């Protein structure tokens, strides 16, 4: 089978590529071709013996989607997006990339179907940003999408498109509302939500991290490994079991910052915890208060999606996958 990953150079895209190569197949079908696309050239996957095509392209450019669909991939992962902060700063770019790019992809598939009956599986990375405060805890599966960012709006609109194109039979789509991915590997970045990862990742390697919010802040997390697991499961799940409601709030772990820190203490001791420096940032605190504290995710769990059940586990996944299993 042929798998197309749009947004392959991002963190989830890279880990998904590695996992697909390691598995060698999806649902007992061998993967013989991978097409990796991003606005920067994706890395060549190590150890893959099938055909690899790496493309630098912007889905929102005219003709890009048609070109990607021309080879009729069996499974399409659409992970490409500009992030929340950028979509808020650049209104036009956000709508162009996050909405028009997605629609161009869906349209290219629809028009391909008219030619030869093409009907791929489409897995779309949505976000918990589709909901907006005030929020209950836990947030039920049937809670409305009233985003408070342009990014969340673009994701919620794309979800609606995905469900309608799926209902009309143009493709078999699954929208995955990803929790905040924690512990995000790499260096601290400027994302307002970066501290959720920073306060664990940096102390685990003996470095200081800044905590800008009170320990009482509650948020919704899943490991990169779980995020990749969602992607694999979404590509093989029986869409008839899902029905017309194709956008699923993924399972995750609801935890306060204090609970994150206590898990760090259990795994890496006081020495690690003492590396967290408290520097309250009123702007980040205000933003945090609008973020999702956690979801019921009942449907996704019933459909077989799984995530971590403790922050200790999330930290151990990071130690295994990023630190070679050793502290």
Binding site for a second copy (CB under 8 A): 91, 110, 132, 141-148, 150, 153, 156-157, 160-161, 163-164, 167-168, 244-245
Cβ pair 192, 287 in contact under 8 A: yes
Asked if 61 and 93 touch (Cβ cutoff 8 Å), the reply is no
CB contact at 8 A, 241 and 303:
yes
Q: Which of 77, 118, 151, 165 is catalytic?
A: 151
How far apart are CB 132 and a second copy at their closest, in Å? Answer: 7
Three-state SS for 195? helix
Beta bridge partners of 103: none
Nearer to a second copy by Cβ, of 94 and 229: the residue is 94
CA 232 to chain centre: 12
Count CB neighbours of 116 within 10 A.
8
Cα gap 259→275, rounded to integer Å: 16
What's the closest the beta carbon of residue 296 comes to a second copy, in angstroms? 13
| CB half-sphere exposure, 107, CA atoms < 13 A | 13
Q: Smallest gap, in angstroms, from Cβ of residue 242 to a second copy? A: 12
Instruction: State the Cα–Cα distance between residues 160 and 164, nearest whole angstrom.
Output: 6
Q: DSSP letters of 294-306? A: -B--HHHHHTT--
Closest CB to a second copy among residues 132, 251 = 132
State yes or no: cis peptide before 183, omega within 30 of 0.
yes
Residue 44 or 160: which CB sits closer to a second copy?
A: 160
3-state secondary structure of 271: helix
In the complex, minimum distance from the CB of residue 67 to a second copy, in angstroms, rounded to a whole number: 21
How many other CB atoms sit within 10 Å of the CB of residue 218? 17
In the bound state with a second copy, the residue whose beta carbon lies nearer, of 31 and 129, is 129
Residue 160 CB, shortest distance to a second copy, in Å, is: 5
- Report angle CA 143, 181, 223 to the nearest 5 degrees: 110
SS3 state of residue 57:
coil
**Residue 151 annotated as catalytic:** yes
Give the nearest distance from C-beta 105 to a second copy in angstroms: 15
- Distance, CA of 261 to CA of 154 (rounded, Å): 33
Smallest separation, CB 63 to a second copy (Å): 19
CB–CB of 163/244 below 8 Å? yes
Q: Which is nearer to a second copy, 85 or 188 (CB)?
A: 85
Burial of residue 185 (CB within 10 Å: 0-12, 13-18, 19+) is middle
Pick 156 or 255: Cβ nearer a second copy = 156
Q: Which is nearer to a second copy, 132 or 203 (CB)?
A: 132
Residues with catalytic annotation?
A: 151
């Amino acid at each position: 089978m042929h798998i197309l990953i749009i947004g392959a150079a991002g963190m989830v895209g890279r880990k998904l590529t590695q996992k697909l190569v390691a598995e060698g197949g999806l649902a007992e079908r061998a993967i013989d071709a991978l097409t990796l696309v991003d606005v920067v050239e994706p890395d060549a996957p190590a150890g893959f013996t099938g055909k690899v095509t790496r493309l630098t392209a912007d889905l929102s450019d005219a003709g890009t989607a048609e070109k990607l669909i021309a080879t009729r991939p069996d499974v399409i992962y659409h992970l490409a997006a500009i992030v929340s902060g950028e979509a808020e700063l650049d209104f036009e770019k956000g709508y162009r990339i996050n909405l028009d790019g997605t629609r161009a992809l869906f349209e290219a598939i629809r028009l391909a179907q008219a030619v030869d009956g093409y009907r791929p599986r489409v897995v779309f990375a949505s976000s918990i940003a589709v909901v907006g405060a005030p929020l209950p805890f836990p947030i039920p599966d049937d809670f409305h999408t009233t985003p408070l960012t342009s990014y969340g709006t673009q994701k919620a609109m794309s979800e609606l498109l995905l469900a309608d194109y799926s209902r009309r039979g143009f493709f078999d789509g699954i929208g995955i509302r990803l929790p905040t991915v924690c512990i995000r590997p790499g260096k601290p970045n400027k994302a307002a939500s970066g501290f959720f990862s920073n306060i664990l990742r940096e102390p685990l390697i003996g470095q200081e991290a800044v905590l800008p919010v009170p320990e009482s802040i509650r948020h919704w997390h899943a490991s990169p490994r779980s995020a990749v697991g969602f992607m694999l499961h979404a590509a093989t799940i029986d869409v008839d079991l899902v029905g017309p409601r194709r956008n699923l709030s993924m399972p995750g772990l609801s935890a306060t910052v204090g609970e994150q820190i206590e898990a760090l203490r259990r795994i890496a001791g006081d020495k690690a915890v003492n590396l967290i420096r408290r520097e309250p940032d009123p702007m980040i605190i205000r933003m945090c208060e609008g973020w999702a504290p956690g979801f019921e995710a009942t449907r996704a769990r019933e459909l077989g999606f799984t995530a971590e059940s403790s922050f200790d586990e999330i930290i151990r996944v990071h130690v295994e996958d990023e630190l070679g299993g050793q502290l």
